[in-house]
Structure 1
Amino acid sequence: MTNKLGFWLVWILFSVYAFVFAPPDRPETLDLIKKLIAGEWQETNGYIVAIFNLMGVFPCVYACILASDGRGQKVPAWIFSGLSFFLGAFALLPYFALREPNPSFEGKTNWNIKLLDSRFTGLTLSAIALYFLVYGFSSGNWGDFLQQWQTSRFIHVMSLDFCMLSLMFPWLLSDDMERRGMTDDRFFSFIALIPLVGALIYLCLRSPLKADEKMA
C-alpha cells in the first residue's frame, strides 16, 4: 500500500511540476516537434534529437516488460504501455500504482508476448538506442542544450521524463526475473541503474519465460 501511495504521489507532484512550475512553452516548440518527427535535424541540437528519439525507445523497453507483467493484473497493461509512447512516465506511473506484484506467468504466450520477449527485439532496440546515443554525443552542444533546458518546457519536461523512466525501470526487475527463474539478480540489479542502457542490456541477456509458467 505504501508503494502504491508513493507512486500516486510522485505522479501528482511530477504532473504539477511539469504543467505549473516548469519553464514556459516557447512559440517555436510545435515547429521543433514537427522537425524532429520529420527527421529534419540539421539545425537542432544533437542532444535534443537524441533524447526525443530515445523517448521512443524507452516505451518499447517497457512494453517488453509489461507484456508479461500485465498477465493477471486487474488493469490492462497494454493501455498504459500504449499511452507511454505519447505521455512517457505520466502514463506509466498510474500503472505502477495500480499493479500488483506478479512474479509468475500463467497461460500460453501469444504472438505479441513472443515478439516482445525475444532477444532479437532487445538487440534491435539496443542498436537504435546506440545510434542516437552516438549521434547525440557526437553532434550535441551541451551549453546550448542546458540553455534550452532552462527556458523550454518541452525540452525540460522531456528530459525529466527520461530520467523518471530510468528511475522507474528497476522497480519491475525483480518480478520479471522471477518469472524467468533468474535467481541471481545482483548483476542485473546493478546495471538496471544505468539509464536506458542498463534496461537494454537486461532485455538482451534475460532468460525466456519459464516453460512451466506458460501452461494454463
Structure 2
Amino acid sequence: MFVGNWAAIDPLVLTVFNSLGIFPLVFLTLLLRNDNKRWPAWPFSLVSFAAGAFALLPYFAFGNRPPERTIRTPKFLLHLLRSKTWLIFLIVITVANLITLQNGISIDSYMDTFNASQLVSVMTVDWFVLWGLSVYAVYQFYPEARMKELAFIPIAGPPLVLLINSKKQAGFQ
C-alpha cells in the first residue's frame, strides 16, 4: 500500500498514518510531565513510536499507581515539555497533518482499504485506542485542569488543554 505512489493513497488513510507519528509526541508530553508513578513513563512513551498503543497499555494497566517519588524527568526535558512553544508545535503539526484532507474524504474508500489491508485495520484500532488513552491521561494526570473536555479533540486536544492551563497555577504541572 505505501509503495511511494502517495497520490493513490486515500487522504484519510494517510492522515491516520501520519497522526500515529504525532500521538507519541503527545504522550511524551502528557506522561513525562508527571513521571512520578511506580514505573518510569519514558520507556513506554518511546516504544510507542514503533508499537503505538500496544506499548502504552501496560503502563496504563500496571504502572499507573499513586506517586512514589518526585518527578524523574530531566529538568531540561521537563522545561521543554512544559513550554508553550512545544505545545503550540504539537497543535500546529496536527493541523498541518489535517491539510492532507483538503480535497475531501471518502468513508467508503477508507472502509474498502480498511477491509482490504490488515495494516489499515490495525492502524485504525491503534488510532482509536491512542485517542482514548490520551483523553484518559488528561483526566487522570491533570484533574485540576480547566476545560478538560477539549481533550476529546483528537491529538490536538490534550496539548490544547495543557496550553490553556499553562499559567503558573498552584499544583498544575
> Which TM-score band applies after superposition, normalised by the shorter structure?
0.7 to 0.9
Partner residue, 1:49? 14
Cα RMSD after superposing both structures: 2.8
Match of 1:169, SS?
helix
Matched AA of 1:112:
L
Residues 185-211 of structure 1 show CA distances to partners (whole Å, capped at 9, x for unaligned) of 4x21x2212322322321322225768
Aligned residues: 172
Q: CA deviation at 1:122?
A: 1.1
Tell me, yes or no, if structure 1 residue 177 matches structure 2 residue 136.
Answer: no
CA distance in 2 between partners of 1:76 and 1:43 (Å)? 41
Letter of the 1:117 partner, please give it. Answer: R
Sort the Cα spacing of 1:145 and 1:80 in 2 relative to 1 into closer, same or farther, 3 A.
same
Aligned partner (choices 151, 154, 162) of residue 195 of structure 1 = 154
The answer as to whether partners of 2:32 and 2:73 remain within 8 angstroms in 1 is no
Q: TM-score, normalised by structure 2?
A: 0.84
Which deviates more, 86-95 or 41-50?
41-50
Matched, 1:146 2:130: no
8 Å contact kept, 2:90–2:156 = no
- Cα offset, 1:142, TM superposition: 2.8
Kindly report structure 1 stretches of 4+ aligned residues shifted beyond 3 Å: 101-109, 208-214
For 1:92, the equivalent position in structure 2 comes to 56
Structure 1 unaligned blocks of 5 or more: 1-28
Q: Could you tell me how far apart the structure 1 residues matched to 2:139 and 2:42 are?
A: 20
Seen in structure 2, the aligned counterparts of structure 1 residues 107 and 57 have a Cα distance that, compared at 3 Å, is closer
How far does residue 143 in structure 1 lie from its aligned partner after superposition? 2.1
What amino acid is the match of 1:204?
A: L
Bigger-Rg structure (1/2)? 1
**CA offsets 1:144-201 (integer angstroms, 9 cap, x no match):** 21101112110011011111111112222245325xxxx364x21x221232232232
Distance of 1:159 and 1:79 partners within structure 2:
23
Is the alpha carbon distance of 1:74 and 1:155 closer, same or farther for their aligned partners in structure 2, counting shifts above 3 Å?
Answer: same
Instruction: Name the SS for the 1:42 alignment partner.
Output: helix
Which has more helix, going by share of residues? 1
State how 1:8-87 maps to structure 2 within 5 Å. 29=1, 32=2, 35=4, 41-70=6-35, 72-87=36-51
